[in-house]
Amino acid sequence: MSIPPEEIKSLVRQVVTRTLGASSPGSARRPKRILSADDVTAMPTHSVQAVAANTLITPLARQIALERHIRLEQTAERNIGSVRSPIATAPTPQPHLKITGQTTVAIGADHGGYELKGLLMGVLAEQYRVIDCGAYSKESVDYPDFAYAVAQLVADGRAWRGIIIDGAGIGSCMAANKVPGVRAAMCYDQATAVNSREHNNANVLTLGAGLIGPNLARQIVTAWLNTEFAGGRHARRVDKIDQIGARFAK
């Protein structure tokens, strides 16, 4: 039995809306747009594209934008001439995290880590280019989707390091470590953060928003980002970790 195209489009829109979150308060009555992979493919490479505030972006469209070096900037609603997609706006930067270097950090969270993600994005934005992989609201979502989005950016070299937040940090760590080339560590204090970098060269950090508060989260991120890999005997062991993953990579 065939399904009418209109019904398929409706179902796709419902799934995308659930995955990416509803639009901001005050825009509920405004029609929502969806930016597709085809829309981004049609944009010029190495360009800056304005994004309507009430537009939703698909994960594939965001990935293609990164690959084509297209920067999507959120704007106030107006006629912008083409379908565009929103980039989450980071909260006001806070002076608690001292970071050096101009690199890229990918960050993602499910509904349980949504608020903590927003706080850390504001802090990270002081020194880093931050890629927000979602979620974009507190509506219930599935943490493996966002763990995979962050891990893939790190594995592909498009992000220097990644941070994922869910309720406990455990499930996201499991999901991220399924991606070859990713060494994700679930840290709950500064000591585990330092160890994961010095000994294991972790390139993805997972946090449990339900287990730690904002102040401790900032301390963990500070320690994790500023700790160098010790190398030496640890390098041999990390190589063996990567070799295990390589055996099962397709």
Per-residue DSSP letters for 218-231? HHHHHHHHHPPP--
- Tell me the average pLDDT across 24-37: 57
What pLDDT sits at residue 118? 95
In CATH, the number for domain 104-241 is 3.40.1400.10
The beta strand positions in 52-178, using DSSP E, are 55-57, 71-74, 104-109, 129-132, 161-166
Q: Which residues contact 164 (CB under 8 A, 6 or more apart)?
A: 107, 108, 109, 113, 143, 146, 147, 150, 151, 172, 173, 176, 184, 204, 205, 206, 207
Amino acid of residue 38: D
Q: Note if the pTM is more than 0.75.
A: no
Q: What is the DSSP letter of 201?
A: -
User: In the chain, where are the structural domains located?
Assistant: 5-74, 104-241
pLDDT tens digits, 114-152: 999 999 999 999 889 999 999 999 999 999 999 999 999
Which residue out of 69, 111, 199, 234 is catalytically annotated? 199
Task: Tell me, yes or no, if 111 is annotated catalytic.
Answer: no
State the burial class of residue 32 (Cβ atoms within 10 Å of its Cβ: 0-12, 13-18, 19+): middle
